[in-house]
Amino acid sequence: DVKVTQSSRYLVKRTGEKVFLECVQDMDHENMFWYRQDPGLGLRLIYFSYDVKMKEKGDIPEGYSVSREKKERFSLILESASTNQTSMYLCASSFKRGRGNTEAFFGQGTRLTVV
Amino acid sequence: AQTVTQSQPEMSVQEAETVTLSCTYDTSESNYYLFWYKQPPSRQMILVIRQEAYKQQNATENRFSVNFQKAAKSFSLKISDSQLGDTAMYFCAFMVDTGANSKLTFGKGITLSVRP
């Protein structure tokens, strides 16, 4: 079974804190993604990575950064958390084209509250 | 830029009946993939069905099937014999996979309620 594991299910942080959200996958996937999910807005892509140390901005990268030092791990960093970053964060991973099915597998999400 | 549009925010269907969820997308690419994902109240996102754009035949998975109209850029999901466990949010998604452009873009989702 493919597993995508996010480090926390619920997280409460204070404004201005540096926040790390960790995601680990065990299927040797090349692609990894970070989304935030808000009611009425669906899933919006923050960043994605198609290889180790490679990253691409998604649709809403402002206020976030990412790190991919190892193939199985993709970290989302909130440099200085703000209340408008309160949201559900979802991590996903998939094979690149030609390596297998292209479907993305998701973690269970981290509900982050910034107070 | 790729966009995915799900214009219906909510739908409701009687158990055992059939329901169709709509999705349109916009892209200039010719090779891509389309997906429908389900997110039940447990929050775990799971794949319902996948369609490769180069395949003309519509994908089918048990009670779930799609109507893929490439020229119209339309990708609707039909759920037959609806069950209470189908109650969830459903997201249409689109991916162009060319290495650096492996963006997976989602629509806003639709909340489906199945009534007993």
Task: Please indicate whether, in this complex, the C-beta atoms of A50 and B100 are within 8 angstroms of each other.
Answer: yes
The fold of the A4-114 domain, in CATH, is: Immunoglobulin-like (2.60.40)
Round to whole Å and give the CA distance between A115 and A34: 22
Give me the number of domains chain B comprises.
Answer: 1
Q: Are A46 and A64 in contact (CB under 8 A)?
A: yes
Amino acid at A87: S
Block residue for tokens 């982050």: A112
Parent domain of B86: 3-115
Round to whole Å and give the CA distance between B81 and B100: 40
Token pair of A26, please?
Answer: 């065990």
Rounded to a whole number of angstroms, the distance from the CA of B99 to the nearest CA of chain A is: 7
Amino acid at B10: E
Q: Which of A41, A44, A96 sits opposite B99 (nearest CB)?
A: A96
Amino acid at B24: T
Read off the pLDDT of residues A104-115 as tens digits, 9 standing for 90 and up. 999 999 999 999
Which of A54, A12, A6, A4 shows the shortest CA–CA distance to A29? A4
Q: Are A34 and A25 in contact (CB under 8 A)?
A: no
Q: Which of A42, A54, A102 sits opposite B106 (nearest CB)?
A: A42
Read off the pLDDT of residues A61-103 as tens digits, 9 standing for 90 and up. 999 999 999 999 999 999 999 999 999 999 999 887 766 667 8
- Is A109 in the B-facing interface, judged by CB distances under 8 Å? yes
- Is A34 in the B-facing interface, judged by CB distances under 8 Å? no
CATH label of the domain that carries residue B32? 2.60.40.10
Minimal-distance CA residue of chain B relative to A6: B44
Q: How many residue pairs bridge chain A and chain B with CB atoms within 8 Å of each other?
A: 66
For chain B, list residues with pLDDT below 50: none
In this prediction, residue A78 carries a pLDDT of 97
Round to whole Å and give the CA distance between B81 and B85: 11
